Amino acid sequence: MDDPAPTRHLYTRETAADGVEKALAMIEGRWKLVILFHLFGGNVLRFSELERAIPGISQKMLIQQLRQMEEDGIVRRTVYPEVPPRVEYSLTDWGQSLCPALDALLDWSAAAPG
């Protein structure tokens, strides 16, 4: 059986603007996009690997950004019951679905006049 057609939302100019502002608010922040690009493609990284991969980020800021993205449903945090505990971060399916949108935004930015 074929999958049903994706549900399309009907937006007004105002609800479309509100929706885009909400989406941008979820990924705004000094480090969120950098974290996302490190996790795209199914990458699973431990906290220390992310910390090493992002020069200049403090532990406090990395924890804060990861928690916010976890609360928003973008990042999955997996804790393994080991001593010491092992914690890994990956993108949820919904978080991974951001990749094409960000690629399109990158292409749009690269094509900017001037």
CATH number of the domain bearing residue 56: 1.10.10.10
Higher pLDDT among residues 4 and 57, named by residue: 57
Sheet holding 45-46, edge to edge: 45-46, 86-91, 75-80
Is residue 16 a part of any domain in this protein? Answer: no
Both tokens of 28, joined, read 């705004």
Residue type, position 111, single letter: A
pLDDT at site 9:
74
Q: How confident is the model at residue 5 (pLDDT cuts 50, 70, 90)?
A: low
Is residue 65 a part of any domain in this protein? Answer: yes
Is residue 14 a part of any domain in this protein? Answer: no
Most confident of 83-87, 89-93, 104-108: 89-93
Whether the CB-CB separation of 86 and 79 falls below 8 Å is answered with yes
